[in-house]
Structure 1
Amino acid sequence: MRFSKFLNIKLLMYLVFWAVSFYGGLEVFSRTGDIRTIDVIYTFLFHLPLIFIVSVHSFHLLPNYLAKSNFWAYGITLFCLLGAAFPIYNFSFLILADWLFPGYYLVGIYEPLEVIGFGILYLVLSSSLEFGRSWFESLRARGKITELESEKRVSELKALRAQVNPHFLFNSLNTIYSEALKKSDKAPALILKLSDMLRYVVDKMDQEQVLLEEEIEYLTHFVGLHKERLNEPEKVHFSTEGDFSGKLIAPLLLIIFIENCFKHADLTEEKALISIQIKQEAEELVLHCKNTVYEEGNKEKKTTGTGLQNAKKRLDLAYNGSYSLDINQQENLYELTLKLGTA
């Protein structure tokens, strides 16, 4: 179907080309100013070798030789094709004219070099049309590829955003359940926080960018719910600095790095900590996460975890390399610094 459409467009282009050429020939060959039947016949016979040359060149030589970089075959065949121009021209006026139009006396007036010259001229004109059509086709194809890549990028981003860790939800519900059993006044506030977070995820998941201040509020609720389930919540330090109003950021991106702090941190030691700092500096957002690690093998988990890989993929898709992510692992400390531009 696609090839048929391509062929129809190409045929239509050449039909218009030959129609214009035929009309120009009538104007040139008409000796009286009025177009007579003999002028139409003469113009038709004159075009026969040119139509043959251009058709073979456009539909055979260009796609089968030149497009495949077979330059020797192209050059030799083109030379032979031009060499056939004058014999075909003679055949048209000496044999074909008497057979098709016996009532008219028609004589070819051009010499071999002149006929070959006409052939070269028409090859140049038709090739220009062909290359122009191919150029527009390639532009349209590149545009389609760009559109498909953009759609793929959006789909990948949506898929990555959808990878929300269910463990946080289960832990939060357990915390709220424990508070409800104790008939604590905290339970309603915790339910409201969790409800706001889930609503934010549902509403913002499909958006390319969200307000940074809304993302900060979501992260604040996240840290708050985690602190509620810790025996020593004072070991968690969360701070924000700067003016976040009016700034935009890819949604549900920072949460992956912050979630890793709680997932891999060990807070059993006296000097254990989780430190999360978010700072807006001019047009750059800086996230600095730090947590203690005492469990054996925890470093390897962090560097190969799907959460961090997910975040790096999303950074590449959403910011196209215009960010910096530095990870520093020491014996009992894991630090991460992310810097990215905010519009």
Structure 2
Amino acid sequence: MYLGFWAVSFSAGLEVFSRTGDIRTIDVIYTLLFNLPMVFIVSVHSFHLLPNYLAKSNFWAYGITLLCLLGTVFPIYNFSFLILADWLFPGYYLVGIYEPLEVIGFGALYLVLSSSLEFGHSWFESLQAKSKIVELESEKRVSELKALRAQVNPHFLFNSLNTIYSEALKKSDKAPSLILKLSDMLRYVVDKMEQEQVSLEEEIEYLTHFVDLHKERLNEAEKVHFSTEGNFSGKHIAPLLLIIFVENCFKHADLTDDDARITIHIKQGEKELTLHCKNSVYKKENRMAESSGTGIQNAKRRLDLVYDGKYSLDINQHKSLYELTLKLGIG
């Protein structure tokens, strides 16, 4: 960066100090001697004052040191032309032509130009760093979402296979149709797992098959109430998100009492999707509380990543009832 700066400075100096229009050796020497004090103050300013004082917000020390630095410009200028010139170039008679205030003015101009270059370079690097951070955060977010979505599949497969296994043990005629239904659901999981958004209609259909599958394993399937309301056409949602809450109902429900129920209702309003789940829980052993809650925490994390600020999740648990309401901003 500074090599280019000094190359431009030297070229400009040659144009200014050349009195004949042709670049002569003496013009090159004069320009070199003139730039020596400028190189000194710019180097000290860039590599010492900026990082050690200004970057650390030590403004008083920076200001005082800057004034002292400018005070060295004319002495170094005189040294270049009165002593250094005779020593390095004895065959030439060279004399400084500028007054002290003029030399200090040149020094101030060089500091302003070099500082602008430094600040511009730092600003560009800062933008690159911020862009890199954003890119890394985006990659991390995508990777985390993929990992969270992948956690859904084992839960789903385990519970569904248990249902089919119980039917197979009974040599039930339902087993083949249940296997076919599970196959369709697995195909959906495989096809939609990596997508950012899926059709809400397809997601509702997937949930319907899931509930139907679990109804088959219950002795009192009439205690499960699953209903939908509203127009799901043209709407989209993050895949395999609602299944975690629905699955949770079956996993922890107690249907042994006559008045026990699992109620799942999904409603699509004008700008909001509402999932309301309610299920009876064990009175003596509060299994919902004892559960590690991995699935719910998984869902919450996905909601934070995908619908941050656009959802609400309300969970209420009483002695024998667990109730959950999720609202998503899906218009």
Q: In which range does the TM-score fall when normalised by the shorter chain?
A: over 0.9
How far apart are residue 83 of structure 1 and its match?
A: 1.5
In 2, Cα distance between equivalents of 1:339 and 1:167? 23
Of 252, 259, 262, the residue aligned with 1:264 is 252
Residue 247 in structure 1 maps to residue 235 in structure 2: yes
How far apart are residue 73 of structure 1 and its match?
A: 3.4
**2:327 counterpart residue number:** 339
In 1, Cα distance between equivalents of 2:168 and 2:317? 40
Residue 17 in structure 1 maps to residue 5 in structure 2: yes
Of 165, 187, 203, the residue aligned with 2:175 is 187
One-letter code aligned to 2:92: Y
Equivalent residues in 2 for 1:289-304 (5 A)? 289-296=277-284, 297-301=286-290
Equivalent residues in 2 for 1:57-68 (5 A)? 57-68=45-56
Equivalent residues in 2 for 1:101-140 (5 A)? 101-140=89-128
When normalised by structure 2's length, the TM-score is 0.93
Q: Deviation per CA, 1:5-57, whole angstroms, max 9, x where unpaired? A: xxxxxxxx211111222222222222223322222221111111001110111
- Tell whether the 8 Å contact from 1:223 to 1:238 is kept in structure 2 after alignment: yes
Q: Deviation per CA, 1:105-141, whole angstroms, max 9, x where unpaired? A: 1110112222111111111111011011101100110
- Tell whether the 8 Å contact from 2:153 to 2:189 is kept in structure 1 after alignment: no
**2:298 counterpart residue number:** 310
How far apart are residue 227 of structure 1 and its match?
A: 0.5
Of all paired residues, the percent bearing the same amino acid is 84
Q: Please, which moves more after superposition, 260-269 or 143-152?
A: 260-269
**2:190 counterpart residue number:** 202
- Tell whether the 8 Å contact from 2:283 to 2:319 is kept in structure 1 after alignment: no
In 2, Cα distance between equivalents of 1:203 and 1:301? 34
In 2, Cα distance between equivalents of 1:316 and 1:99? 73
One-letter code aligned to 2:237: I
How far apart are residue 244 of structure 1 and its match?
A: 1.8
**1:330 counterpart residue number:** 318
In 2, Cα distance between equivalents of 1:204 and 1:165? 11
Residue 52 in structure 1 maps to residue 40 in structure 2: yes
In 2, Cα distance between equivalents of 1:234 and 1:157? 36
Of 171, 175, 200, the residue aligned with 2:163 is 175
In 2, Cα distance between equivalents of 1:174 and 1:111? 95
RMSD between aligned alpha carbons?
Answer: 1.9
One-letter code aligned to 1:80: C
Change (3 A) 1:32 1:168: closer
- Structure 1, unaligned stretches of length 5 or more? 1-12
How far apart are residue 272 of structure 1 and its match?
A: 0.9
- Tell whether the 8 Å contact from 1:315 to 1:321 is kept in structure 2 after alignment: no
Change (3 A) 1:171 1:134: closer
One-letter code aligned to 1:126: S
**Which SS does the other structure have where 1:160 is aligned?**
helix
Of 19, 23, 29, the residue aligned with 1:31 is 19
One-letter code aligned to 1:179: E
Q: Please, which moves more after superposition, 67-76 or 248-257?
A: 67-76
Of 70, 74, 79, the residue aligned with 1:91 is 79
- Tell whether the 8 Å contact from 2:152 to 2:240 is kept in structure 1 after alignment: no
Equivalent residues in 2 for 1:138-157 (5 A)? 138-157=126-145
Change (3 A) 1:121 1:171: closer
**1:286 counterpart residue number:** 274
Of 190, 204, 207, the residue aligned with 1:216 is 204
- Structure 2, unaligned stretches of length 5 or more? none
In 2, Cα distance between equivalents of 1:180 and 1:257? 27
Change (3 A) 1:156 1:254: same
Q: Deviation per CA, 1:198-244, whole angstroms, max 9, x where unpaired? A: 22222222222222122112111111111000000011111122222
**Which SS does the other structure have where 2:76 is aligned?**
helix
**Which SS does the other structure have where 2:152 is aligned?**
coil
In 2, Cα distance between equivalents of 1:294 and 1:183? 30
How far apart are residue 177 of structure 1 and its match?
A: 3.4
In 2, Cα distance between equivalents of 1:26 and 1:245? 74
In 2, Cα distance between equivalents of 1:174 and 1:88? 89
**Which SS does the other structure have where 1:286 is aligned?**
strand
**Which SS does the other structure have where 1:314 is aligned?**
helix
**2:214 counterpart residue number:** 226
State the number of aligned residues.
Answer: 330
How far apart are residue 168 of structure 1 and its match?
A: 4.7
One-letter code aligned to 1:270: D
- Tell whether the 8 Å contact from 1:322 to 1:340 is kept in structure 2 after alignment: yes
When normalised by structure 1's length, the TM-score is 0.90
In 1, Cα distance between equivalents of 2:23 and 2:232? 79
**Which SS does the other structure have where 2:140 is aligned?**
helix
Change (3 A) 1:116 1:135: same
Q: Please, which moves more after superposition, 331-340 or 181-190?
A: 181-190
